[in-house]
């Protein structure tokens, strides 16, 4: 009951505050691998291997409707170009994740009612186009987990799904279509349950083919921009009352060739991206000559209007694949990854370009182009798949998935708000990742796509770790903070927090922390033209209590045991050992210090 009560308390806390936490994006999973930022004592990321069976192929139950009768069938589906989405709680602890096919709870088991997330009407394939269909196909998916406005115990899971084929009968059994599910985390003692699934935005199942969610200016509701088969954008608004609207308010359209094509070219379907602040979007298109290019546009979070689209040009005349795009934390830079090669045999280049977005016109943006990273790789162009991973720490992570059973690689752009010519702009590279690749399962699909709702990434303020009882609390601006605000005149800061805390300092400081100082801190930043708000939860377990076995009859050879009432990250005995017990070898003082998961240190002596 203690764990259930604690989970309920966290949910109640979030419901009262209505705040997002950046730690909700602390875990990023794909296939049977992942990275986590959930380390309060060390900077950087940790690599994870998930305890999941390989999802190489699976059966899917579906049916046709004939009058009042349902005829059930089993399809055999094989994942191809699948995306992933993960969400964590306010502390950064995993809640659940999905591969777009199933939902897995925090114990890495399929969530209650968490399979068969999308509906397929089998009569769609009983056509002359595919007369010899053998009940098997590939599947592609793009999932994004969204918060439920007004109820932090529930989540939306939106999916774009498609079933492509590569045979003489055509490219698609089912074209791209959008569906969604609703997940209730109060069910099953906090493990969650999919309470509704196979829901659609239209009575015509295959009417909407892609989507992008963007947080409304009111910081509560969510715009859902749904793209129809003709490339027109419909503005839905997700509120506490449900999903409303669906009108076309933008003349702007995404006429992506893939929406009406029956070719097996599916690399270009899964791209609409928003900047961390939600005020810019990027999308990959195809022209009539099958050329692939990117465009960016501005988005008004209050009205839902898209405006001022600009085409992005790269700097190469060689053969190329335009693979991925990403915004800097402050939303003022754009990064574009390319794979580049020459017609004659030679090396393959991986290149990352940076564009400056401060001046919003085509000439300024494209002329600002700089090379942020350039490397050669001894692999064929089609065997390298560069993908940007979401980074909550203000860095940009480029994941290089290598197909030929080679170790995958990670390129890290430090201080990506700066220009490559800046001395603070650094690039580091990890050539061999400690990830699960048995049988090359990770790279067989060639793509590692992990989607995170942008509001989980976008945080303006944070605090220095650790924040321990008796210590101090110092706030700082994150890399997502628009630093140009500080250069304006008449900028006002207004802070509030626990125990009646109130301050108008830019970055307040609290010495000698007590239990009463932990909780939500909010800041309101007013400029002559706009207003920003943000909040951060400063938390600390109520002191990790340690206890040494103080029996008087301990003799040489006995073990002095350590008892801990909470999780810990580090143990240090007087002799340098790190176990939960130490053997008595002499008389004298025995001391031990323990660092808990929040970096706070406690000691005891016998």
Position 268 in a domain: no
Q: Give the pLDDT confidence score for residue 188 in this predicted structure.
A: 96
Position 469 in a domain: yes
Position 298 in a domain: no
Dihedral in degrees, nearest 10, Cα atoms 399, 402, 408, 413: -30
Q: Give the pLDDT confidence score for residue 357 in this predicted structure.
A: 96
Range 122-135 average pLDDT: 50
Is residue 472 domain-shared with residue 360, that is, in the same domain?
A: no
Is residue 9 domain-shared with residue 158, that is, in the same domain?
A: yes
Is residue 38 domain-shared with residue 95, that is, in the same domain?
A: yes
What is the 3-class SS of 349-388, one letter each residue? EEEEEEEECCCCCHHHHHHCCEEEEEEEECCCHHHEEEEE
Q: Give the pLDDT confidence score for residue 36 in this predicted structure.
A: 83
Q: Give the pLDDT confidence score for residue 207 in this predicted structure.
A: 84
Q: Could you say which of 538, 554, 584 is where a domain stops?
A: 538
Is residue 137 domain-shared with residue 43, that is, in the same domain?
A: yes
Position 279 in a domain: no
State pLDDT tens for residues 425-452: 999 998 877 655 554 443 344 456 788 8
The mean pLDDT value of the chain amounts to: 79
State pLDDT tens for residues 30-69: 777 788 886 656 666 777 777 777 667 777 777 666 667 7
Is residue 122 domain-shared with residue 70, that is, in the same domain?
A: yes
Query: Is the Cβ–Cβ distance between 274 and 326 less than 8 Å?
Result: no
Domain count, the chain: 4
Report strand pairing: 242-247 vs 449-451.
unpaired
Distance CA 103, CA 385 (A): 25
Residue 417 predicted with pLDDT over 80: yes
Distance CA 140, CA 160 (A): 8
- 265 CB-contact burial (10 Å; exposed 0-12 / middle 13-18 / buried 19+): middle
Position 466 in a domain: yes
Q: Give the pLDDT confidence score for residue 169 in this predicted structure.
A: 45
Q: Could you say which of 454, 487, 503 is where a domain stops?
A: 454
Residue 537 predicted with pLDDT over 50: yes
**Tokens 């690399």 sit on residue:** 267
Q: How confident is the model at residue 352 (pLDDT cuts 50, 70, 90)?
A: very high
Residue 556 predicted with pLDDT over 90: no
Q: Give the pLDDT confidence score for residue 126 in this predicted structure.
A: 47
State pLDDT tens for residues 569-601: 677 777 777 777 776 766 677 777 877 767 777
User: Which secondary structure element, helix H or strand E, spans residue 443, and what is its range?
Assistant: helix 441-444
State pLDDT tens for residues 262-318: 343 444 454 678 999 999 999 877 654 455 678 899 999 999 999 999 988 887 766
Residue 240 predicted with pLDDT over 90: yes
Greatest mean pLDDT range, 376-390, 516-530, 541-555, 563-577: 516-530
**Listed residue (348, 357, 310, 312) closest to 484, CA to CA:** 357
Is residue 550 domain-shared with residue 525, that is, in the same domain?
A: no
What would the two tokens of residue 327 be? 């915004």
Range 152-163 average pLDDT: 89
Higher local confidence (pLDDT), 250 or 291: 250
pTM of the model: 0.83
Is residue 341 domain-shared with residue 434, that is, in the same domain?
A: yes
226-231 own/partner pairs: CB under 8 Å, 24+ apart: 226/178, 226/201, 227/254, 227/256, 227/259, 227/272, 229/175, 229/259, 229/260, 230/255, 230/259, 231/255, 231/256, 231/259
**CATH number, position 530:** 2.60.40.10
- Of the listed ranges 85-89, 223-227, 445-449, 558-562, the one predicted with least confidence: 445-449
Is residue 522 domain-shared with residue 580, that is, in the same domain?
A: no
What would the two tokens of residue 329 be? 């934390």
In this structure, what are the phi and psi dihedrals at residue 153, rounded to the nearest 5 degrees? -90, -5
Please give the share of the chain, as a percent, with pLDDT higher than 90: 33
Distance CA 491, CA 398 (A): 36
Range 221-235 average pLDDT: 90
Residue 418 predicted with pLDDT over 80: yes
Greatest mean pLDDT range, 46-50, 71-75, 351-355: 351-355
Residue 502 predicted with pLDDT over 80: yes
Q: How confident is the model at residue 334 (pLDDT cuts 50, 70, 90)?
A: very high
Higher local confidence (pLDDT), 43 or 216: 216
Is residue 111 domain-shared with residue 39, that is, in the same domain?
A: yes
* 438 conformational bin, left if phi > 0, alpha if psi -120 to 50, beta if neither: beta
Is residue 19 domain-shared with residue 166, that is, in the same domain?
A: yes
Q: Could you say which of 538, 556, 585 is where a domain stops?
A: 538
Q: How long a stretch of residues is the chain?
A: 606
Q: How confident is the model at residue 414 (pLDDT cuts 50, 70, 90)?
A: very high
Range 157-179 average pLDDT: 71
Q: Give the pLDDT confidence score for residue 131 in this predicted structure.
A: 47
Is residue 534 domain-shared with residue 441, that is, in the same domain?
A: no
**Listed residue (208, 223, 210) closest to 300, CA to CA:** 223
Position 478 in a domain: yes
Query: Is the Cβ–Cβ distance between 268 and 258 less than 8 Å?
Result: yes
Contact partners, residue 530, CB within 8 Å, separation at least 6:
none
Position 42 in a domain: yes
Position 230 in a domain: no
Residue 216 predicted with pLDDT over 90: yes
Is residue 5 domain-shared with residue 151, that is, in the same domain?
A: yes
- Of the listed ranges 49-53, 336-340, 482-486, the one predicted with least confidence: 49-53
Residue 106 predicted with pLDDT over 80: yes
Distance CA 313, CA 408 (A): 28
Could you tell me the residue range of the domain that residue 363 belongs to?
313-454
């Amino acid at each position: 009951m203690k764990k259930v009560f604690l989970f309920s308390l966290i949910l109640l806390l979030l419901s009262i505050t209505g705040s997002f936490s950046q730690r909700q994006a602390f875990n990023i999973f794909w296939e049977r691998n992942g990275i986590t930022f959930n380390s309060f004592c060390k900077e950087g990321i940790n690599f994870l291997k998930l305890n999941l069976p390989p999802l190489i192929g699976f059966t899917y139950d579906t049916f046709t409707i004939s009058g009042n009768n349902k005829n059930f069938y089993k399809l055999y589906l094989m994942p191809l170009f699948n995306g992933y989405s993960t969400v964590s709680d306010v502390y950064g602890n995993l809640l659940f994740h999905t591969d777009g096919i199933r939902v897995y709870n925090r114990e890495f088991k399929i969530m209650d009612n968490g399979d068969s997330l999308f509906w397929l009407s089998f009569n769609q394939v009983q056509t002359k186009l595919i007369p010899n269909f053998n009940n098997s196909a590939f599947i592609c998916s793009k999932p994004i987990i969204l918060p439920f406005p007004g109820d932090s115990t529930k989540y939306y899971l939106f999916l774009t799904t498609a079933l492509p084929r590569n045979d003489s009968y055509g490219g698609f059994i089912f074209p791209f279509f959008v569906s969604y599910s609703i997940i209730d985390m109060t069910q099953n003692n906090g493990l969650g349950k999919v309470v509704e699934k196979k829901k659609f935005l239209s009575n015509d199942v295959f009417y909407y083919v892609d989507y992008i969610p963007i947080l409304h200016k009111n910081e509560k509701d969510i715009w859902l921009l749904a793209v129809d088969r003709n490339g027109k954008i419909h503005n839905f608004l997700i509120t506490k009352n449900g999903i409303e609207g669906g009108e076309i308010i933008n003349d702007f359209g995404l006429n992506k060739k893939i929406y009406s094509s029956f070719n097996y070219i599916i690399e270009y379907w899964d791209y609409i991206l928003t900047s961390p602040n939600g005020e810019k979007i990027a999308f990959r298109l195809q022209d009539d000559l099958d050329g692939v290019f990117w465009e960016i546009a501005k988005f008004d979070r209050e009205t839902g209007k898209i405006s001022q689209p600009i085409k992005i040009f790269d700097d190469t005349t060689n053969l190329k694949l335009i693979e991925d795009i990403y915004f800097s934390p402050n939303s003022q830079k754009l990064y574009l990854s390319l794979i580049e090669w020459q017609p004659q045999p030679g090396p393959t280049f991986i290149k990352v370009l940076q564009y400056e977005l401060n001046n919003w016109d085509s000439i300024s943006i494209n002329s600002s182009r700089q090379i942020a990273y350039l490397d050669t790789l001894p692999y064929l162009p089609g065997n390298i798949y560069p993908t940007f991973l979401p980074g909550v720490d203000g860095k940009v992570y480029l994941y290089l998935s290598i197909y030929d059973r080679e170790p995958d690689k990670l390129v890290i752009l430090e201080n990506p708000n700066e220009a490559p010519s800046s001395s603070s702009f650094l690039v580091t590279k990890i050539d061999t990742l400690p990830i699960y690749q048995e049988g090359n399962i990770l790279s067989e699909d060639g793509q590692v796509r992990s989607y995170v709702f942008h509001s989980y990434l976008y945080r303006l303020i944070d605090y220095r770790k650790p924040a321990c009882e008796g210590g101090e609390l110092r706030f700082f601006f994150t890399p997502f903070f628009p630093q140009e605000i500080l250069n304006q005149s008449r900028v006002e800061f207004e802070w509030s927090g626990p125990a009646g805390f109130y301050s108008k300092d830019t970055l307040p400081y609290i010495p000698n922390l007590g239990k009463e100082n932990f909780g939500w801190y909010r800041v309101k930043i007013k400029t002559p033209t706009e207003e920003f708000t943000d909040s951060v939860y400063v938390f600390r377990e109520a002191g990790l209590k340690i206890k040494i076995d103080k029996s008087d009859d301990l003799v040489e050879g006995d073990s002095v045991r350590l008892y801990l009432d909470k999780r810990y990250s580090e143990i240090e005995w007087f002799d340098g050992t790190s176990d939960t017990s130490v053997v008595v070898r002499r008389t004298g003082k025995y001391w031990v210090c323990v660092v808990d998961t929040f970096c706070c240190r406690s000691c005891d002596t016998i």
